[in-house]
């Protein structure tokens, strides 16, 4: 069967609970919309707390009663590798479904989303196989650290990088022996459902992985509230994150919050100009600017401000916007018309705040079936003060603002002058300056002369309103496990040389 036909077959999606695909208990559904046309592509269950209840109960049984609790690290790593292989074997179906749900270009899901999901499973298979635990000797005893699963974990993910971010949580959670209740965004449910299918096929025992579709306020909230869920790993907006924290913290659940950003992209006059332009284009408009790490505030040293502005405006106007399934397309649709309206609202606000729209800012005239799609021309705005709302609030679309600066101190003041603290990029050929600026930036991650250059071992996460906790490599394995210390008393001086 051609992949386009296979995609059509993935229209009536179901929950995945205790190894079975099932509808919501009350049979309610939500429409799944293809944002490039605004047409209905299928339905998902509109689950409620009663569905979460069954999912948690299955996950608890799988944790305590089934074969999962007896699996070795190597057996679990083998399963992760088998999942990675199955995704690879169904690569095109995953890539098409991801583009259909998000409206992002197929070229991007092929290049980034699906390859990363595969690497996430392979990476955590290797990481857990090679992980080590601590040993602390005393003069009369020794301590060793035992890692145990946290229990049933709740994984809640957003729509911008659906499988990429879900697999980033599922892989380490499985590696450490937890059982899972996952909720993908209601806007992008398909690849998570295909992942459930893959998980069921490679021999992961039933009840280990549950997927419950539905709205955040109904399903997400029920997951966070559930007393038998011991940890929540949440990626999404800061406002939702606050609510998740307020619900989970009084229950003393382990909590990882990966939230929004308003990231500075700082261009010094001594940068490699071409590379900085190229990097700024990627940091601004990848995934239609819907990456939490996008550099939406572009700070440019005054000597090169005009030349830099001219270069990126020209390149932005040349970006190819269109049918997400066309391999030539560089800019696809935003995730929904509602989101498009929110992003456009910020462009209007920018004008009221005195901004000058240098390019974009409008919905393009689209042909045929795409006429009602959620498209927005990539937008560059200049002339705004760093304090105004457009520059302070996360827009999460293809919109950047440009800001001239004179000194390092001024750049840092603007860069750090927001409530967010996720990531930053710095472009300079002066190594000392790069170190000094990087250390002074209030962000969890800094890229120097690059953007979104990822090593899966490094700590990933934000400061301030961008989140709590770190994911990645050993950080994820630590989050998804409880470290317990065992102290064995050995008698006097057992550990002293010559005694
Ligand atoms: P969102 O906060 O609206 O939704 C995220 C998820 O939370 C969805 O699955 C949603 O259904 C669910 N949810 C909503 N209300 C809930 C509640 N009361 N309880 C539990 N779950 C609930 O975010 P979004 O619009 O899907 O995603 C965009 C946001 O995600 C942006 O702010 C972006 O910066 C952020 N993000 C952050 C990272 C990161 O790693 N820091 C990565 C990607 C996206």
**What does the domain layout of the chain look like in residue ranges?**
3-259+466-484, 264-448
HSE-up of residue 271 (Cα within 13 Å, Cβ side): 30
Measured N-to-C along each axis, helices 162-175 and 190-201 cross at an angle, to the nearest 10 degrees, of 30
**Cα 86 from Cα 80, distance rounded (Å):** 10
The CATH topology of domain 264-448 is Aldehyde Dehydrogenase; Chain A, domain 2 (3.40.309)
DSSP state of 250: G
Residue-wise pLDDT for 407-430, tens only, equals 999 999 999 999 999 999 999 999
Alpha helices in 328-472 (DSSP H): 337-352, 389-392, 408-416, 431-440
pTM comes to 0.98
Q: Ligand 1 in contact with 244 (CB < 6 A)?
A: yes
* Residue having the nearest C-alpha atom to atom 30 of ligand 1: 236
Cα-Cα-Cα-Cα dihedral of 235, 119, 473, 16, to 10°?
50
Amino acid 494: pLDDT: 83
Amino acid 81: pLDDT: 98
Residue 185 alpha carbon, nearest atom of ligand 1:
9
Distance 208 CA to ligand 1 centre (A): 24
Q: How many CB atoms lie within 10 A of CB 353?
A: 17
Q: Ligand 1 in contact with 224 (CB < 6 A)?
A: yes
Choose the catalytic residue: 86, 98, 218, 292: 292
HSE-up of residue 286 (Cα within 13 Å, Cβ side): 19
Distance 61 CA to ligand 1 centre (A): 29
Token output for 107: 């070229």
**Cα 200 from Cα 17, distance rounded (Å):** 11
**Cα 362 from Cα 356, distance rounded (Å):** 14
Choose the catalytic residue: 98, 258, 394, 471: 258
Q: Ligand 1 in contact with 330 (CB < 6 A)?
A: no
Given a contact cutoff of 8 angstroms between Cβ atoms, the answer to whether 340 and 372 are in contact is: no
Amino acid 498: pLDDT: 66
**Cα 332 from Cα 459, distance rounded (Å):** 30
Residue 223 alpha carbon, nearest atom of ligand 1:
20
Pick from 424, 426, 379, 427: which is nearest to 401 by CA? 379
Sorted by sequence, the CB contacts under 8 Å of residue 318 that are 6+ apart come out as none
Distance 159 CA to ligand 1 centre (A): 8
Assess whether 294 carries a catalytic annotation. no
Q: What are the backbone angles phi and psi of residue 251, rounded to the nearest 5°?
A: -95, 5
Pairing status of strand 141-149 against strand 152-156: unpaired
Residue 339 alpha carbon, nearest atom of ligand 1:
25
**Cα 123 from Cα 129, distance rounded (Å):** 10
Provide the CA 186 distance to its chain's centre, in angstroms. 15
Distance 257 CA to ligand 1 centre (A): 10
Distance 341 CA to ligand 1 centre (A): 18
Place of tokens 């269950």: 45
Pocket test for ligand 1, best of 101, 232, 236, 237 (most atoms within 8 A of CB): 236
Assess whether 348 carries a catalytic annotation. no
Given a contact cutoff of 8 angstroms between Cβ atoms, the answer to whether 103 and 33 are in contact is: no
Amino acid 4: pLDDT: 86
Provide the CA 214 distance to its chain's centre, in angstroms. 19
Q: Is 158 left (phi over 0), alpha (psi -120 to 50) or beta?
A: beta
Q: Ligand 1 in contact with 217 (CB < 6 A)?
A: yes
Residues facing residue 420 across a β-bridge: 464
Q: Ligand 1 in contact with 237 (CB < 6 A)?
A: yes
Pairing status of strand 264-267 against strand 423-427: parallel
Sorted by sequence, the CB contacts under 8 Å of residue 414 that are 6+ apart come out as 264, 297, 299, 386, 403, 405
**Cα 320 from Cα 141, distance rounded (Å):** 67
Residue 244 alpha carbon, nearest atom of ligand 1:
19
Sorted by sequence, the CB contacts under 8 Å of residue 92 that are 6+ apart come out as 3
Residue 460 alpha carbon, nearest atom of ligand 1:
40
HSE-up of residue 317 (Cα within 13 Å, Cβ side): 8
**Cα 296 from Cα 330, distance rounded (Å):** 18
* Residue having the nearest C-alpha atom to atom 42 of ligand 1: 292
Superfamily for the 3-259+466-484 domain: Aldehyde Dehydrogenase; Chain A, domain 1 (3.40.605.10)
The mean pLDDT value of the chain amounts to 97
**Count of residues for the chain?**
499
Q: Ligand 1 in contact with 261 (CB < 6 A)?
A: yes
Q: Is 456 left (phi over 0), alpha (psi -120 to 50) or beta?
A: alpha
Q: Ligand 1 in contact with 296 (CB < 6 A)?
A: no
Q: Is 383 left (phi over 0), alpha (psi -120 to 50) or beta?
A: left
Q: Is 32 left (phi over 0), alpha (psi -120 to 50) or beta?
A: beta
Mark the ranges of the chain whose per-residue pLDDT is less than 70.
498-499
Distance 499 CA to ligand 1 centre (A): 59
Token output for 86: 């199955």
């Amino acid at each position: 069967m051609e992949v386009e036909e296979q995609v059509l077959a993935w229209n009536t999606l179901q929950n995945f609970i205790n190894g079975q695909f099932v509808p919501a208990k009350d049979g309610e559904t939500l429409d799944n919309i293809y944002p490039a046309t605004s047409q209905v592509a299928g339905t998902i269950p509109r689950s409620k707390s009663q569905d979460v209840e069954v999912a948690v109960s299955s996950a608890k049984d799988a944790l305590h009663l089934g074969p999962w609790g007896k699996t070795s690290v190597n057996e679990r790593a083998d399963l992760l590798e088998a999942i990675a292989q199955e995704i690879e074997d169904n690569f095109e179906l995953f890539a098409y479904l991801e583009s259909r749900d998000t409206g992002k270009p197929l070229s991007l899901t092929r290049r980034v989303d699906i390859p990363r999901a595969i690497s996430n499973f392979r990476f955590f298979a290797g990481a857990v196989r090679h992980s080590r635990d601590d040993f602390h000797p005393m003069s009369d005893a020794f301590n060793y650290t035992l890692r145990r699963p946290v229990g049933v974990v709740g994984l809640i993910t957003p729509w911008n990088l659906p499988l990429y971010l879900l697999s980033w949580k599922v892989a380490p959670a499985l590696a450490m022996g937890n059982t899972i209740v996952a909720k993908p965004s209601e806007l992008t449910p398909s690849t998570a459902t295909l992942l459930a299918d893959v998980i069921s096929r490679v021999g992961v025992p039933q009840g280990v992985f549950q997927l419950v579709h539905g709205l955040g306020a109904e399903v997400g909230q029920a997951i966070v509230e559930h007393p038998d869920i011991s940890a929540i790993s949440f990626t999404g907006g800061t406002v939702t994150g606050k609510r998740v924290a307020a619900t989970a913290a009084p229950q003393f659940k382990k909590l990882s919050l990966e939230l929004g950003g308003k990231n500075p992209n700082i261009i010094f006059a001594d940068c490699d100009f071409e590379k900085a332009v190229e990097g700024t284009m990627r940091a601004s408009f990848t995934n239609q600017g819907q990456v939490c790490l996008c550099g939406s505030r572009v700070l440019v040293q005054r000597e090169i401000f005009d030349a830099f502005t001219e270069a990126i405006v020209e390149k932005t106007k040349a970006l190819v916007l269109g049918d997400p399934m066309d391999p030539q397309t560089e800019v696809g649709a935003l995730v929904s018309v509602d989101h498009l309206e929110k992003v456009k609202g910020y462009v209007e606000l920018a004008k009221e705040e005195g901004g000058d729209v240098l390019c974009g800012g409008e919905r393009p005239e689209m042909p045929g079936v795409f006429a009602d799609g959620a498209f927005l021309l990539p937008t560059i705005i200049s002339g705004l003060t760093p304090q105004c709302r457009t520059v302070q609030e996360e827009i999460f679309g293809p919109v950047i603002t440009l800001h001239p600066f004179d000194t390092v101190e001024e750049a840092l003041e603007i860069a750090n002058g927001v409530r967010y603290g996720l990531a930053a990029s710095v472009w300079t050929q002066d190594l000392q300056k790069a170190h000094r600026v990087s250390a002074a930036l209030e962000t969890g991650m800094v890229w120097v002369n690059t953007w979104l250059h990822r090593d899966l071992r490094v700590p990933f996460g934000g400061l301030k309103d961008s989140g709590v906790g770190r994911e990645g490599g050993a950080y994820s394995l630590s989050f998804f496990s409880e470290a317990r210390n065992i102290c064995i008393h050995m008698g006097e001086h057992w550990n002293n040389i010559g005694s």
